[in-house]
Amino acid sequence: MSADPFLAPIPASSLGFTGSSFDRTDELRRDPAWVEAMRRRPDAAWLLFEDLKPFLTVADGTPDLLWLPGSAVEPLLAPGGDWAFLGLDENGAPRFAANLGSGAAAPGAAAEPWELRPAAIAMGGDARTAVLGQARSLLAWHGRHRFCANCGSPTAIAKAGYGRLCENAACAAEHFPRVDPVVIMLVVAGENCLVGRQPHFAPGMYSALAGFVEPGESLEEAVRREVWEEAGLRVGRVRYVASQPWPFPSSLMVGCFAEALGRDIRIDETELEDARWFTRADVRAALRDEGPFNCPPPIAIARHLLETWAALGG
């Protein structure tokens, strides 16, 4: 296999917050009568959140999804509360999510509210995390868009949670959930890659550089701008590797390799605390928890970038 990350085949990989098999039924969820019928079905089930923390069951310290019957959930939902239809599962059963707000009572003795990031790590980043990520992103968006950006009037949930409608009849503006694109890139030069750390990172952890795509930019242009701004390096070739939803609150991480045209680092200290070059051998050791730095957790696309690059070559 070629060691050149811009030419070598990139193996497929499962990433955290991906892999849901739900059918989101866009053509059906626009019909309020259909949605109401789905809510009344005896096989309808809900995920509940407390202030965007999902209630989960825990067995031997490992969390799992807690699906509650609609008959138990509907009485808990306040008028105007935040909810969303997630889709139909493999058996055609409707699945929903709702945010009960701070101080909500646990829906059963076995339920515990979890922060999503540690829950996803404990779940191993499998398809359950995709369901939780979808739910959290939608519910977080509803919590931030209670008023119309056009006229300032209150808005109401529409299209089964995939929109909000201004309640001012003279405005009637529709608002839809947004996903913020973020480029995340492993900068490479030969047998070396560049990783950096921000002050809030866990001790010893280094990760790929990242930044939001700005208006009027292609993904490649965003990669080149962010690497120049954060590390003072010019970039040549850029290669797309994989993407990952990141529900904090609702980003799409676009993973890339970026070819450095030099190696002299000049970090932006408002963005980074440190940035360093490491060899492929260093990265392989770090992935085994034996190296000179700590890698991001397995659910993160930054780790996928490191693993993919480390696997190339001899």
Q: Are strands 235-246 and 111-113 parallel, antiparallel or unpaired?
A: unpaired
The pTM assigned to this predicted structure is 0.94
pLDDT of residue 117: 96
Dump pLDDT digits (tens) for 241-258.
999 999 999 999 999 999
pLDDT of residue 314: 65
What is the average pLDDT score of the chain? 95
Does the pLDDT value for residue 189 go beyond 60? yes
DSSP letter string over 217-271? --HHHHHHHHHHHHH---EEEEEEEEEEEETTTTEEEEEEEEEES-------TTT
Does the pLDDT value for residue 109 go beyond 70? no
Are 104 and 53 contacting, i.e. CB atoms less than 8 angstroms apart? no
CATH topology of domain 180-311: Nucleoside Triphosphate Pyrophosphohydrolase (3.90.79)
Those residues with Cβ within 8 angstroms of residue 28's Cβ, 6 or more apart along the chain or in another chain: 34
Give me the mean pLDDT over the 128-132 stretch: 98
pLDDT of residue 251: 98
Does the pLDDT value for residue 313 go beyond 80? no
Does the pLDDT value for residue 1 go beyond 70? no
In which band, very low, low, confident or very high, does the pLDDT at 162 lie, cut at 50, 70 and 90? very high
User: Given the structure tokens 């993919």, which residue do they identify?
Assistant: 308
Dump pLDDT digits (tens) for 196-227.
999 999 999 999 999 999 999 999 999 999 99
Residue 161: Cβ-neighbour burial (10 angstroms; 0-12, 13-18, 19+): buried
Among 54-63, 114-123, 282-291, name the one with the lowest average pLDDT: 54-63
Does the pLDDT value for residue 238 go beyond 60? yes
Task: Tell me the domain boundaries of the chain.
Answer: 1-144, 146-177, 180-311
In which band, very low, low, confident or very high, does the pLDDT at 107 lie, cut at 50, 70 and 90? confident
Give me the mean pLDDT over the 147-164 stretch: 98
pLDDT of residue 284: 97
pLDDT of residue 290: 97
pLDDT of residue 3: 80
Q: Is the peptide bond before 249 cis (omega within 30 degrees of 0)?
A: yes
pLDDT of residue 138: 98
Are 28 and 21 contacting, i.e. CB atoms less than 8 angstroms apart? no
Does the pLDDT value for residue 191 go beyond 80? yes
Distance (Å, whole) CA 162 – CA 82: 11
pLDDT of residue 225: 98
pLDDT of residue 231: 98
